[in-house]
Amino acid sequence: MIKIGDHRKQLFHKWVLFAKKYSTSEPIHEVADVTETVCKVMISCPIVALDTALNQTGVRVSPDLVENVLKRFENAGMLAFRFFEWSERQRNYSHTIRAYHSMIESLAKIRQYQIMWELVNAMRKKGMLNVETFCIIMRKYARAQKVDEAVYTFNVMEKYDMPPNLAAFNGLLSALCKSKNVRKAQEIFDSMKGRFVPDSKTYSILLEGWGKAPNLPKAREIFREMVDMGCNPDIVTYGIMVDILCKAGRVDEAVEVVKDMDANNCRPTSFIYSVLVHTYGVENRIEDAVDAFLEMERKGIKADVVVYNALIGAFCKVSKFKNVHRVLQEMECNGVTPNSRTCNVIISSLISQGKTDRVFGVFRRMIKLCEPDADTYTMMIKMFCERNELEMALKIWRYMKSKHFVPSMHTFSALINGLCEKGNVMKACVLMEEMIEKGIRPSRVTFGRLRQLLIKEGREDVLKFLHEKMNLLVKEPLYD
């Protein structure tokens, strides 16, 4: 059953006892240990009892602890904010700029813009504001397709005694380009380049934006303008150009750019080779992918996890999974640790090729090498739900919770949709409540699906309860 009304007092006392269980009279010296203690309380304790539960842990709050916890709960904005407020009240502790920035990012993710600006005002009073504060807000607004608000943030910097400089200008252009608003970025660049002298980073941002549009002629135009203005292309610019050409299906032309780099004494990076290897893989040119990798090694450029992941992806594309195993062995021999992306590339390829019977075995082996991320858990849960193996999906969910990993909106949705498909509406409602309590806004599709099932079963009372919960996560207006 869902936790409503009459159960509140019982739950409160239950979680006070829970907190005492994890309290300690002995000092905890390792930040990692303290972080685990706090995260265990936060992930399991309802918000109504959270402050008491945190008090009962007896942990000593430090900047490292707060920053670690906020990072772990970056996808659960309101829960993170409760911890942020609680920690601020602790003796001999003051929030760092990094803590404020983490909290601002988390709040912006769930569109709690009013609270976000309240934190900006708090930072101003403490003299802690810097250009990066406003760049973060611009990025988040742009990602939410709030272009006017992103531009507003840039323009309002002066009001906060933080006159915009070239770094802020580049930050605004970058935010717009990364959110596919390159035309607006170009318009702002053209109107303001007399106020700020563009550097190679400015042109690289626009170059990348037009590359993603995609608009190869415009990207070439920006590249020429950059050279004409006396800004020599650097390693970042070359990397972007190679990436643009590869995405446009002109990998052979991209190879010529790499040769030009060698001629200009600009040494290619492993990232540039990872782009070539990945593109060859996408085009099923596995021999060329391997040749590019070997050429990189011949030039003395050390392979990192990014280029290894590209090579693994190329082998996965052509179903050469024995070669994938060899690459993993080579990574181990060279001291390169796989990451969640490594795991996700392999699992995604197996699922897309219909080899789902092999996925769980791969998952079990990979989690010994690297920590899964939200994409890993979402893929696994979604796959098992689609295979009609709900108990296995729940097994993955329980494992994820045992690792104190905070699910993303997509992870919650995958399991809620699976439960709805099996008609387990009440379990889906419990998950929906947990999702909302952690400050994660459900997608319209997922909430709508659950709503239809609740109406069908005559559970309007539960639907009303969930709606009330949802009202706590309403979109806030622009505020300063």
> What's the token pair of residue 44?
């399991």
**Tokens 């739900």 — which residue?**
385
Cβ-based neighbour number of residue 72 at 10 Å: 20
At residue 48, what are phi and psi to the nearest 5 degrees? -60, -25
Closest by CA to 83, choosing from 109, 108, 107, 114, is 107
- Identity at 156, one-letter amino acid code: V
Q: Is the dihedral of CA 122, 125, 129, 135 positive or negative?
A: positive
Place of tokens 């993993």: 328
* Cα gap 423→432, rounded to integer Å: 15
* 27: nearest Cα among 51, 60, 62: 60
Neighbours of 325 (CB within 10 A): 14
Q: Is 286:320 a contact under the CB 8 Å cutoff?
A: yes
Query: What residues of the chain score a pLDDT lower than 70?
Result: 1-29, 472-480
Our CA angle for 207, 210, 214, nearest 5°, is 135
CA distance 209 to 192: 17
Q: Burial of 381 by CB count in 10 Å (0-12 exposed, 13-18 middle, 19+ buried)?
A: buried
User: Quick one: pLDDT at residue 14?
Assistant: 46
Q: How far apart are CA 423 and CA 427, in angstroms?
A: 9
Residue 122's CB is within 10 A of a number of other CB atoms, namely 14
Both tokens of 226, joined, read 């950059």
Question: In Å, what is the CA distance from 377 to each residue of 118, 343, 372?
Answer: 34, 11, 7
Question: What letter does residue 304 receive in the DSSP assignment?
Answer: -
Beta strands in 173-228 (DSSP E): none
Which helix (H) or strand (E) segment holds residue 22: the answer is none
Tell me the C-alpha to C-alpha distance, in Å, between residue 99 and each of 43, 51, 56, 263, 478. 19, 19, 23, 45, 22
Where residue 331 falls (left for φ over 0; alpha for ψ -120 to 50; beta otherwise) is alpha
What are 363-400's pLDDT values in tens digits?
Answer: 999 999 899 999 999 999 999 999 999 999 999 999 99
Spatial CA neighbour of 378 closest among 350, 353, 400, 356: 400
The predicted structure's pLDDT at residue 2: 43
Neighbours of 449 (CB within 10 A): 18
User: At a CB cut-off of 8 Å and minimum separation 6, what does 326 contact?
Assistant: none
Phi-psi region of 145 (alpha: psi -120 to 50; beta: other; left: phi over 0): left
Q: Which residues contact 470 (CB under 8 A, 6 or more apart)?
A: 436, 441, 442, 447
**pTM for the full model?**
0.75
Can you list the pairs that 210-216 forms with residues at least 24 positions away whose Cβ atoms lie under 8 Å?
210/182, 210/186, 210/244, 211/240, 211/241, 211/243, 211/244, 211/247, 211/248, 212/177, 212/180, 212/182, 212/247, 213/180, 213/182, 214/244, 214/247, 214/248, 215/182, 216/244, 216/245, 216/248, 216/250
* pLDDT the model gives residue 16: 45
Contact criterion met (CB below 8 Å) for 316 and 345: yes
Query: Is the bond leading into 46 cis (omega within 30 degrees of zero)?
Result: no
Q: Which of 347, 337, 271 is nearest to 310 (CA)?
A: 271
SS3 assignment for 385-440: HHCCCHHHHHHHHHHHHHCCCCCCHHHHHHHHHHHHHCCCHHHHHHHHHHHHHCCC
Residue 331 pLDDT: 95
161 in Cβ contact with 124 (< 8 Å): yes
- For residues 125 and 116, what is the distance between their CA atoms, to the nearest angstrom? 15
